[in-house]
Amino acid sequence: MKVHQYCYFALKSETVSAGEITARLGMAPDEAQVLGSRSAEHRLPRMHAWKVTHRGPGAVDDQIEDLIGRLAPVRPGIRKLVDEGASAVLQVVRYFHHRDGGEEFGWHLSPAVIAFLTEAAAALDVDEYDLSE
């Protein structure tokens, strides 16, 4: 069975724009959404979103480690934004029986990733989709 997987870390807010988050953290996102904007790929966003992503081949736990490594320098700023009302989430997305997938099945979170998520007051959200017919 082939698995296609990726992850991203998002900060979401109804009041703080992705541009403001970028300015406060001193780190540019890989992707951003604007509250109420229209996009061919997305339904109308209900909030602003600032996202750092990791897409590509490899085990998702390795992708998560790389992603958290990129975010480590701005973790205190992430926590401050969360304390002020933003929400933070580590999103893991996996598609089973995907034509372009690899053979990586299981995954885990290291103590360092769990500590980062705890210190940043971030949620973990995992979406898994079975594309078999």
The predicted-structure confidence for 72-101, as pLDDT tens digits, reads as follows: 999 999 999 999 999 999 999 988 876 665
What percent of the chain stands above pLDDT 90?
62
CA 30 to chain centre: 10
pLDDT at 46: 72
Measured in degrees and rounded to the nearest 5, phi and psi for residue 96 equal: -90, 150
Task: Return the pLDDT at 41.
Answer: 56
Q: What is the pLDDT of residues 14-24, one digit of tens each?
A: 899 999 999 99
Q: How confident is the model at residue 69 (pLDDT cuts 50, 70, 90)?
A: very high
First to last CA, the chain: 13
Q: b/e per residue, 47-79, with b = 16+ CB within 10 A? A: bbbbbbbbeeeebbbebbeebbeebeebbebbb
Q: What tokens appear for 11 in the block?
A: 């900060």
